Amino acid sequence: MPHPQAAGGARSTVRAWRPDVPGLVEVFHARYVDHAYPAHTHDAWTLLIVDDGAIRFDLDRHHHGAAGSAVTLLPPHVPHDGRAATPNGFRKRVLYMEPPVLGDDLIGAAVDDPTLLDRQLRQRVHQLHRVLAEPGDGLEAESRLALIRERLRDRLRGPRPSPPAPRGLADRLLELLDARTTTGMTLSDAAAELHAHPTHLVRSFTVAFGLPPHRYLTGRRVELARRMLLAGRRPADVASAAGFYDQAHLTRHFTRYLGVAPARYAGGARRR
């Protein structure tokens, strides 16, 4: 993933990048004080959360606001503008999603109700932004986007019961992840190979094994890294050998799982 680009002066800051995640066109983080967007449209779905301050905007000539725990969803091809609703401006994070992620059939519902008061959805969007800020967690980003898509569609059209998934689907995904622990795979590739919808695949695996597929894969890689470290291999070599993007990626997840950095873990093993 390319590093975010920063721009702006003391009063405004902008970071934007294109993530290597199917369905996402752009990630956009901005802090604005006195900037006002003129009326415009996007080719993509705009999913935004406000971390500080508040925004006023018109969508299809109707007045709306965005702030706090709400999630705002702006449909493609529908005119909207935007400006700060507070004297100190606002700080926002935005995901631009390709039109097929939600489909044209939901544009009308999003125009009618672009502001979604849904704390779980907001938390999921926040978690996806956190994952996208660091390289190496593509499977997690795809999984989180799939769950966000499902939640958005449920909010806009009402939830529809999902047919129970056979345990065999989760078992087959487990076999794929075990076979490709170090090389990894995308959620899209797994769904194509198993002939299943990505969201259904994530749900089936989580119900069957109690954790989502990306977390299972990361845990497998951490366990592999532990064995390599105990065998005397250097953390820099272990990172790529265990399937991590780089040493920083290994360190982040290893510390999260074990409470100690790989170098300290290996040092303790050598002292024994």
Distance CA 41, CA 44 (A): 9
Residues 6+ apart with CB under 8 A from 164: none
pLDDT recorded at residue 100 = 94
| Whether pLDDT at 159 is above 50 | yes
Q: Identify the band that residue 158 occupies on the pLDDT scale cut at 50, 70 and 90.
A: confident
Top-confidence residue, 46 or 270: 46
For residue 271, pLDDT over 80 is answered with no
Between the two ends of the chain, the Cα-to-Cα distance in Å is: 39
Distance CA 191, CA 200 (A): 9
Average model confidence (pLDDT) across the chain: 87
Quote the CA–CA distance of 239 and 221 in Å, as a whole number. Answer: 9
pLDDT, one tens digit per residue, over 98-132 is: 999 999 999 999 999 999 999 999 999 999 999 99
Cα 102 to the chain's mean position, in Å? 16
**Widest pairwise Cα distance in the chain:** 70
- Supply the pLDDT for residue 126: 96
Q: What was the pLDDT predicted at 110?
A: 93
| DSSP letter for each residue of 62-93 | EEEEEETTEEEEE-TT--EEEEESSTT-EEEE
- Residue 4 reports pLDDT greater than 80: no
Positive or negative torsion for Cα 181, 185, 186, 192 = negative
User: Which residues make beta-bridge pairs with 63?
Assistant: 58
SS3 216: helix
pLDDT over 80 at 145, yes or no: yes
What is the distance between the alpha carbons of residues 231 and 233, in angstroms, rounded to a whole number?
Answer: 6
pLDDT band at residue 22 using 50, 70 and 90 as cut-offs: very high
pLDDT tops 80 at residue 246 = yes
**Cβ 157 vs Cβ 207: under 8 Å:** no
Q: Is the pLDDT of residue 5 over 90?
A: no
- Quick: pLDDT tens for 200-232: 999 899 888 888 899 899 999 998 998 899 888
- Res 248: pLDDT: 92
| pLDDT classification of 162: cutoffs 50, 70, 90 | low
Confidence of residue 160 (pLDDT cuts 50, 70, 90): low
Query: Considering only CA atoms, which of 223, 218, 204 is closest in space to residue 253?
Result: 218
Write the Ramachandran bin of 223: left for phi over 0, alpha for psi from -120 to 50, otherwise beta. alpha
> Checking phi first, is residue 259 left (phi over 0); if not, alpha (psi -120 to 50) or beta?
left
Q: What is the pLDDT of residue 161?
A: 57
Pick the range with the lowest mean pLDDT from 29-38, 72-81, 152-161, 187-196. 152-161
pTM of the model: 0.80
